[in-house]
Structure 1
């Protein structure tokens, strides 16, 4: 029923490859094989990060705490999304 990934993907200038795979790997620890049904997409659209994750509270919490929050923290090493943000703002 959810067509969000299909609606968002054409709008992305660049996809974040591996986001869905990482999400499902982490989610597998929580919900087992049901994670195969998890549909995620991430990328850049017009210089803005876009992340589409399943809509349940647990799924959103997992994506935020295990992937997005660390990647948006400048202290995450060896690399993170935070260091890319200034470059995305350049015109």
Structure 2
């Protein structure tokens, strides 16, 4: 059965939020604000927050710093996942992935289709793992961030979620580095 096992203790995840935008200032970052609000309300810890321009090098520099930080378990980025020439968040993420979480895109598209119909085809939301850190790239709209958090991430970042979740396998994400 799918759901929260109330017999288990909640384990907070340390999550950083990255907004990718050429036009937004921190005080106008509604999507970042929504993600911070949702993750802290759920009991997780905000591990960092930043806003960078739609430039692959800037996005990757911020992601690499958080991947290397042992105090960051996951990064959620918002913005730059569309189809225009300046949308490079997906490329920045994918070049860093050691493993892609391909079904994230599929499930996000399913959720989006329920809300916005065929316009969901324009989203390139993606996810993967790098250096033992989960990386999630979401579209820049508050609605898309709400859908991704409420429909996917709230459950998958909750250790109590059954039958499985991202938190329970976190200790094993880098086990390949220990093999000889």
Between the aligned partners of 1:44 and 1:58, the Cα distance in structure 2 is 24
Per-residue Cα deviation, 1:14-61 (whole angstroms, up to 9, x for no partner) = 001211011000111111110000111100011100000101000001
**1:40 — aligned with what?**
125
3-state DSSP of counterpart to 2:136: strand
Structure with higher strand content: 2
Q: CA RMSD in A?
A: 1.4
3-state DSSP of counterpart to 2:161: coil
Conservation of the 8 A alpha-carbon contact between 2:156 and 2:166: yes
Between the aligned partners of 2:153 and 2:172, the Cα distance in structure 1 is 18
Q: Which has the larger radius of gyration?
A: 2
Give runs of ≥4 in structure 1 deviating > 3 Å: 88-91
**2:161 — aligned with what?**
76
Tell me: higher relative CO, structure 1 or 2? Use CA pairs within 8 A at least 6 residues apart.
2
Q: TM-score, normalization: structure 1?
A: 0.92
Between the aligned partners of 2:121 and 2:173, the Cα distance in structure 1 is 32
**1:16 — aligned with what?**
101
Long gaps (5+) in structure 2? 1-85
Long gaps (5+) in structure 1? none
Q: CA deviation at 1:89?
A: 6.8
Between the aligned partners of 1:73 and 1:7, the Cα distance in structure 2 is 27
Q: Number of residues paired by the alignment?
A: 91
Structure with higher helix content: 1
Between the aligned partners of 1:28 and 1:70, the Cα distance in structure 2 is 20
Q: CA deviation at 1:86?
A: 2.4
